[in-house]
Structure 1
Amino acid sequence: MASPIVISIPHQLGRAEARRRIEGGLAKIFGLLPGSSGVSSERWDGDRLIFSVAALGQTVSGVIEVLDATVTIEVELPAVLRFIASGLKDRLQRSAQLLLTRK
């Protein structure tokens, strides 16, 4: 099994505001997955979001953890989607950074 995509984004918003922004931008973040049909499931456990998304007939799962000064995104791609890992990581990073830096 390949390693998951892991992205760590520093922020200066505090935990509550970072979580609010992540919650508000989930659709945009998940829309970056090719063929995404939206969030299949999402569940917050404290400040940790556990999710799965349908993309190109596959299930992509992961976790977003919101901390005081960092948001960490970890995404597990099924084998048939691993060819997009590099480009997806870059797009996820840019999108999440925009969410966490906009005023």
Structure 2
Amino acid sequence: MRVAIPHTLTRDEARRRLRDKAERAMEKAESMATITTSFVDDDHMAMSVTAMGYTVDCAVELTDTELVVEVDIPATLGFAKRMIEGMIREKTGKLLT
């Protein structure tokens, strides 16, 4: 699944916010999920979210106008695709605020 979240920040500011808030997101989610992130380069982050026995891998790409999240949803979570997309939009959008 591909989810694009538009932004109006400069690329440098978006990078700074993404790095700063990715660490905070991991701390906040600690009681509900395990989130690991790593930056492949300045504009690409790999993320893995483990919750309720599932692990979902994501690739995050920062462009000049949007943050694009590519998510590999296991077939067993297909029923929750819309809910997962909504959570991605909400939580990922907060990474840039």
Gap runs ≥5 in structure 2: none
Q: Distance in 2 between matches of 1:62 and 1:95?
A: 13
Query: What value does the CA root-mean-square deviation take over the aligned residues?
Result: 2.3
Partner of 1:13: 9
- Superposed displacement of residue 36, structure 1: 4.6
Cα-to-partner distance string for 1:37-93 (whole Å, 9 max, x where unaligned): 221x32211110012121211210010101122110111111222211111112221
Q: Is the partner of 2:33 in helix, strand or coil?
A: strand
Partner of 2:44: 48
* Structure richer in helix, relative to its length: 2
Q: Distance in 2 between matches of 1:36 and 1:60?
A: 14
TM-score where L is the length of structure 1: 0.72
Cα-to-partner distance string for 1:11-50 (whole Å, 9 max, x where unaligned): 111122212222333327x94xxx95221x3221111001
1:22 matches 2:13: no
Q: Is the partner of 1:8 in helix, strand or coil?
A: strand
% identical aligned pairs = 30
After the TM superposition, which parts of structure 1 deviate over 6 Å for at least 4 consecutive aligned residues?
none
Q: Distance in 2 between matches of 1:82 and 1:36?
A: 21
The one-letter amino acid paired with 1:6 is R
Q: How does 1:10-89 map to 2 (within 5 A)?
A: 10-26=6-22, 27=25, 31=29, 36-39=32-35, 41-46=36-41, 47-89=43-85
Q: Distance in 2 between matches of 1:61 and 1:50?
A: 8
Q: Distance in 2 between matches of 1:36 and 1:75?
A: 19
**How many residues are paired up?**
92
